[in-house]
Amino acid sequence: MTATSGDWLRRAAPALFIVVSLGLAACGGSDSEPAEKKVAATTAEPTVDQAAADEQALEKLVTDFWSVRVAAQNSGEATPEQFAAVLEPGLVEVELGTVRDYKSLKVRRIGAPEITGVEVVAAGDTAELLACLDEDGWAAEEDGKPVELPKTGKKAWGAKAERNGDRWLINDFLSVDESKAKKTC
């Protein structure tokens, strides 16, 4: 039995969607608020204890974000509350949209990426988060059948975070180029 061009397109569409989604969702720069609406960083120098607490909270934010993203994409189920614990509202909708798109295409992820080399730099109420991300162990399947994804190895991933009351939330993702310029993996 030979495949027709329509069969090829139908089989390739989910893999192409996943590859494009990974590039946009993992490292796509999305500035959800105009610059003039962003909260300015405080000018007071944090205490040593506060700086250590911020660093610990920001490292946990990276781990928590990836745990939520992986659980949502692996299960095909997500709620705004899951992502609201780690993301600003505009980014919550982006992540929920990705999960909905995967589900409509009968695509789900299997496994998890490896996150290593987490670095955080906080300045007042803003921070930059950098890590090495290896998605080679995070597979995908379409309607129960494996989807071949490109093996990319470790690559830089980055985000920006902002203090929101007594917690930190990711409010933007760095572009691939920005992440590469700031982090070597």
Which amino acid is it at 130? L
CB of 140 within 8 A of CB of 110? yes
Share of the chain above pLDDT 90, in %: 72
Rounded average pLDDT over 110-130? 97
Residues in the chain, how many?
Answer: 185
pTM: 0.76
Which amino acid is it at 147? V
- How far apart CA 78 and CA 75 sit, in angstroms, is 8
pLDDT confidence of 49, banded at 50, 70, 90?
confident
Rounded average pLDDT over 171-185? 96
Residue carrying the six token digits 């989807």: 147
Which is higher by pLDDT, 17 or 109? 109
Tens of pLDDT along 61-85? Answer: 999 999 999 999 999 999 999 999 9
CB of 108 within 8 A of CB of 76? yes
- How far apart CA 171 and CA 56 sit, in angstroms, is 18
pLDDT confidence of 46, banded at 50, 70, 90?
low
Rounded average pLDDT over 167-180? 97
Domains assigned to the chain: 8-29+45-182 (3.10.450)
Tens of pLDDT along 141-169? Answer: 999 999 999 999 999 999 999 999 999 99
Nearest to 45 by CA among 164, 125, 121, 119: 125
